[in-house]
Amino acid sequence: MDYIHLRDMQFFGYHGVLAEENVLGQRFRATVSLAVDIQKAGQTDELENTVSYVGVYDICKEVIEGKPYKLIEAVAENIAAKILMNYEGQVYGCKVEVIKPDPPIPGHYKEVAVEIVRGRFYE
């Protein structure tokens, strides 16, 4: 299995349980890994034989900058579902990490994040 990674994409969204998160918004980061077979792309050097990085980025942007969710778990789930639906037959599975670097939680920490794995990674 081969993998395509889009690492540390950055967006601004309005997700969160607290009302001020939905009004003020905040930064979010996302990393996506796609389980794919890109041998043919490597042999032919043709975009049609791989998954468009731009398309995956656009899905992440659409979900994170779009409809507000209470939980970043829901954000990650929607990103994974859209990727698997849009790239059916090309993407066998995906790992999606959504990071909330500045949640309104008192204390000292770097960030909070969720990571999910969806799909079938081996056929």
Active-site annotation, residues? 100
3-class SS of residue 98: strand
Contact between 80 and 116 under an 8 Å Cβ cutoff? The reply is yes
3-class SS of residue 96: strand
**CA-to-CA distance for 118 and 84, rounded, in angstroms?**
8
Helices (H), 30-105: 39-44, 53-64, 72-86
- Of 25, 24, 52, whose CA–CA distance to 38 is shortest? 52
